[in-house]
A and B are shown apart, each in its own frame.
Chain A
Amino acid sequence: MAELIVNGRALQIDESRLDPHTTVLDFLRERGLVGTKEGCAEGECGACAVALVREDHAQRTAYIPVNSCLTLLGSVLGGELISVEGVRPSPDALHPVQTAMVERGGSQCGYCTPGFVVSMFSEYYRRDRPAWDPEAIAGNLCRCTGYRPIRDAMRDLGAPASDDRFLARLAQPTPILAGLTQLRTHAGQTPGQRQLLRPASLDELLDQLAEHPQAKLIAGGTDVVVEINQRHARWPTLISLEAVAELRSFTIDGETARIGAALSLSALEHHLDHAIPLLAELFPLFSSRLIRNRATLGGNLANASPIGDSPPVLLALDASLELRSRAGQRVVPLAAFFTGYRQTVLEPGELITHVHVPVRRPTHAHFYKVSKRVLDDISTVAAAFALELDEASGEITRARLAYGGVAATPARALDAERALIGRTWTRETVASVAALVTAAFTPMSDHRGSADYRVAMCARLLEKFFHETTDNRRIGPQPPPVVAHHGAQP
């Protein structure tokens, strides 16, 4: 039997009766907690948001809102969460967040409302909150209101009272996630055993991986669980990285940031605190807060999507990856990591443990993402540019032009990079390499954009980069500035 604390009550769960692919959302609804809704089953709409009661980056208890549709039950068993039913303090009173939503007209059909309430609830108790982070509700879709009253409801909120019991909970430690084995005999079309393993250390993880080299690794689950929900993908063995502390480490010195592959992007955002400006530009454009609270660099790189958002930035920064298996350890430059469409150099039984990012300060660097929507969208084209100029001569000494969405893998425009070396950063220089950038890629047409548009963007984004670096002003719609998430007591 395993235990999960939901809304302050410990639920006993016979984990052997549950398929390891069961999500927190399905589990809650089966237990009658139907306030949590499924709107999309791919982490886009936030109607299923629940607040994990977890340690934040600084090992303090925090409410961390996540999409329960993308969170496997096996990843959180032994832990604690709050669903919308737990937000209401008593049967005859609403929580201030709920009152604000009611009075402002923040609900119409009401189906998205529980998710907004959980997102706002988590934001309400965020430590060191200087102001309301608009991103707190940017991962929640509403089809009725047009958002204005919800935005107003959030801005209206004050701070929690000192005797607030949810505040009191934050003063207490969180349950510690131990190792877990969830095993179930499956009787469907492909009978056999399905299991979820949750190792408690890197050592245990490497053993399990050696024993099950074909196992599917789950870090944040924000991509794998989409496959589970939508394509009904099922694996005999899932390995959750949830309890492996080594994979959540973060160290930085004058030269390199060493980032645990399973560290959430929100925690990474906090640790880095703008130390690497190009990464700071990436975060607000990377999906939504609800996703970044779970998503990891390791996951984003290992799934090797050509339209992942982090690879262009990490390519521009010359990042490298620390890979481990029972056979040993190696470090691979990211530029050599992707071998084809959704293919990498990872061997069976091997995983990314850390991402090494040089702490460079290029003279000029920006990240660009072209998509149908500014926030919470998948790129049509993404680009990260970094230039180092010789201070005296103004000549370009190092150039990185990295793109996503224009080839089978994220890739750099190497010919153009070479052509830039030794040149000065002028309009003429940009014009002279534009053709090389365009020639470097043969993108496809799909529902996100035509091949012609993608080709055009390869050069246009470089022009835009030139314009912005020389004019010192950003062009076009900007995401709201990043506000550091889950921190200290208010």
Chain B
Amino acid sequence: MTSVGRAIPHESAPGHASGEARYTDDLLDRFANALHAWPVLSPHAHATVVSINAGVAASMPGVVKILTSQDVPGQNEVGAVHHDEPLFPTEIQFHNQPVAWVLAETLDAAREAAAAVVVEYEQLPAIITMEQAIAAGSFLTEPLTIIAGAPQQALTTAPQTLSGELHIGGQEHFYLETQAAIAAWDEAGEVVVHSSTQHPTETQIIVARVLGIPRNRVTCQSLRMGGAFGGKEVQANPYAAIAAVGAHATGRPVRVRLDRQLDMALTGKRHPFLARFDVGHDDDGRILAMDLQLYSDGGWSHDLSKAIMFRALFHCDNCYRIPNLRVVGRVLRTHKTSQTAFRGFGGPQGMVAIEDIVDRVARAVGRPPHEVRALNFYREGDHTHYGQLVRDAGRIEQIWNSLTQTSDFANRWAATEAFNAASTHEKRGLAITPVRFGISFTTSFLNQAGALVLVYADGSIQVNHGGTEMGQGLHTKMLQIAADALGVPLEVVRLMPTRTDKVPNTSATAASSGSDLNGAAVEHACAQIRERLAEVAGRELGIPPDDLEFAGGRVRPFWQRDDPTAGLSFAELVGRAYLQRVALFATGYYRTPHIHYNEATGRGKPFHYFTYGAAVTEVQVDGFTGQFEIRRVDILHDVGDSISPLVDMGQIEGGFMQGLGWLTSEQLVWSDDGRLATRGASTYKLPTLGECPEAFNVELLPMATEPSVVKGSKAVGEPPLMLAISVREALRAAVAGFGQQGAIELACPSTPEAVYWAIEAARERAAERAAAE
């Protein structure tokens, strides 16, 4: 029996459930004498640091060291892409930015001493809101532009036009495990950093940079993460750097762990966006032209904001053919946390904008939104606005038609209308929205991966690869691929913690690409070992190597596949191969072929392929308060041939619920002076069990082999998040049930308050109309 395709539990699930699975900060008791770190926080969003007086704090009991820029032996710089993030700043760029760090024997002592460090500031004017940044011309990038057709001309000739503006909120990652790192010098005089990072190589690079030593003297290990979602793609680095600088300054292990309040105050979030649009369409609702202006709130530094904006530009069409399109995106610089990668990476914001627009078009022409959505779908042979062929475009309609059937959409549409006609204070909304998401890092060179597979002479196997495990089930899939590639049961394969001394120069585990890239590299490594073993087995059994089958822990002629004693056991074969001096380990490597993009021309093929899906959501809204419930959700999603169906179902459901949170209850609020007011679980509201719909039907698209990817599978990490746009559209439909004709303006996130004001507007318009009649 093969492992790939079986619905097996997460490889660490017994460890999760028993509490035995360790995370970075759980390793603390392995480091005798470890020091604890706590930051000195700036009370201003924008200020110059005039002086730091640590005299009293340094003499407090238990305090070992107050770290400042003086203690950095290398560069005082931790920016990942741009070098614009000093580890110890002289100019404060966001509220609570750490000025210095206290190292002490206990966390309590560090915390108390941090409060006693006296810092003198000269306050500077701060830019907090996106409107302030636009007015001040405060940008992190130039305008990034993609143009297809002749949008300006098409807008003037379109039979109907509409314009609008939409604010899209950000999102806190709220990985359950906050940022954590432990750094220590090892017996060979090099630094070992345990970090909860999605990108151990970059953490290694940054640590080497701040210490001023070559990368071969830094080893970074990411054991497993308690969630990441993009929030540990680059933003784990500063805390690993503090731990490393602290270990350098004191000679002792240093542990950094942010508590939830610090984590929320200091780390970046999903970018808030502002979209302004002019759209031209015909009387049926066909979109003829769109001019879309996107602004994102990048916060204080570049981080990955430019690439994130590009992905928004690439996804502002979602599943729709818009022949004349101009999209211009620009990242704003504000005095807030540096916003960063978050599941979807700009794609979700682009898609929320276009789905908002399509609904407006539908209401402008007086047709049901689902009809206007289908009318505008890409067809086979169509190209995107950046010139890439929409391969498998037919799947959009295939999924759509199948899901409308299985969700009983037509009958429920009628039932919803009947309910709304009979109910004054409660209204229902039903919506279906599609998803098309491009897979690959849009920075083409990142699309490479390596693996190291070690077979020991007893037949047991270790698999190393460059990807990190954050709960998404990557290691589970890698085990399945390796077990099948060598024809052994899962139990004899061990997946090793991700370390930079096993596979060098890796890319972040991000962009949903983890299993595509690393899976191909693991398979490549295994294939080399298998080829060598087949030669040995061929000689031993006296048959051509090509006639051998590796399966179920045995190697035998393919015509004896049902004979449990035929051939050799894998362990026997490995033992003989060792005696015959055959190398039992191999490195594997993979690079995604044929991808490229030209920023200057706005043309290229940035994606290896697209994944598709759709969701139907039904909601019921309370007209008195704006509170609502989700009555039912149906999803059909394309993951190619699933390597691990239990894992993939988990990604789809979990992604949907995370998107639901982003679009409804998860509201980030900053005060006028730049302080994050929602900096804890009691003020920032993730979905709970109560938000999980009782009727939640998820299916994988059958017979969906993706020929260009390992095992015919497709990426699954990010795309399902955008299925939750159906919730927002269902809420807009329910609001329309209160009597609105024309565009439904609904703030995003759609908290009960936002829904209430949208209902009030709908009721007012309906009353005006009634009065006029």
Contacts and interface: CB of A to CB of B under 8 A. Distances in A.
A394 B677 CA distance: 48
B657 A146 contact: yes
Contact of A19 (B108, B654, B751): B108
A179 interface: no
A14 interface: no
B227 interface: yes
A38 B16 contact: no
A151 to B, nearest CB: 6
A137 B115 CA distance: 37
Contact of B19 (A35, A146, A461, A463): A35
Contact of A143 (B115, B426, B658): B658
A463 B625 CA distance: 10
B12 A143 contact: no
Interface string A116-150: 01000000000000000010011011111111111
Contacts of B109: 188
A60 to B, nearest CB: 27
A420 interface: no
Contacts of A149: 650, 653
Interface in B497-537: none
B261 interface: yes
Given A39-B260, A461-B624, A456 B756 contact: yes
Contacts of B685: 372-373, 377
B274 interface: no
A137 B751 CA distance: 23
Contacts of A461: 624-625
Given A112-B176, A141-B681, A189-B115, A105 B689 contact: no
Contacts of A40: 260, 680-682
Contact of B17 (A47, A107, A460): A107
B17 A464 contact: no
A355 interface: no
Contact of B657 (A147, A368, A373): A147
Contacts of A376: 688, 690
A241 B607 CA distance: 62
Contacts of A488: none
Of B26, B654, B658, most buried by chain A (CB within 10 Å of CB) is: B654
Interface residues of B, number: 86
A477 B622 contact: yes
B83 interface: no
Given A88-B18, A373-B691, A374-B627, A108 B654 contact: yes
Given A35-B18, A450-B753, A109 B624 contact: no
Interface in B183-229: 224-229
Nearest to A187: B61
Interface stretch (A94-102, A156-164, A169-177): A94-102
Interface string A458-486: 00110110010000000111011000000
A113 B471 CA distance: 11
B683 interface: yes
Contacts of A146: 650, 653-658, 687, 692, 696
A487 B576 CA distance: 64
A453 interface: yes
Given A188-B112, A375-B690, A105 B622 contact: no
A110 B425 contact: no
A83 interface: yes
A137 B627 CA distance: 22
Interface string A349-381: 000000000000000000010111111111010
Could you say which interface size class chain A belongs to? Answer: 35 or more
Contact of B689 (A117, A138, A226, A460): A138
Nearest to A465: B624
Nearest to A188: B112
A463 B17 contact: no
Of A32, A98, A107, A230, most buried by chain B (CB within 10 Å of CB) is A107
Contacts of A106: 13, 17
B678 interface: yes
A80 interface: no
Interface string A30-52: 00101111111110110100000
A188 B176 CA distance: 31
A230 B109 CA distance: 15
A475 B624 contact: yes
B170 to A, nearest CB: 14
Contacts of B112: 188-189, 232
A110 B226 contact: yes
A44 B687 CA distance: 12
B166 interface: no
Contact of A144 (B116, B224, B227, B425): B227
A47 B10 contact: no
B650 A477 contact: no
Contacts of A36: 19
Contacts of B113: 189
Nearest to A38: B259
Interface in B375-418: none
Most buried by A among B176, B692, B757: B176
Contacts of B16: 101-102, 107, 109-110, 113-114
6 contacts: A38-B259, A83-B19, A107-B10, A117-B19, A151-B692, A380-B753
Interface of B: 9-10, 12-23, 26, 28-29, 60-62, 108-109, 111-113, 115-116, 174-177, 224-229, 259-261, 425-426, 470-473, 622, 624-625, 627-629, 646-647, 649-650, 653-658, 665, 667, 669, 677-678, 680-683, 685-692, 696, 751-753, 756-757, 760
Given A110-B10, A380-B752, A464-B624, 18 more contacts: A34-B29, A37-B23, A42-B682, A105-B9, A105-B13, A106-B13, A109-B228, A113-B16, A114-B16, A114-B19, A143-B176, A144-B471, A149-B650, A370-B627, A373-B687, A380-B753, A476-B624, A476-B628
Question: Lowest 6 CB-CB distances: which A-B pairs, in order?
Answer: A35-B19, A109-B471, A111-B226, A110-B16, A476-B622, A146-B657
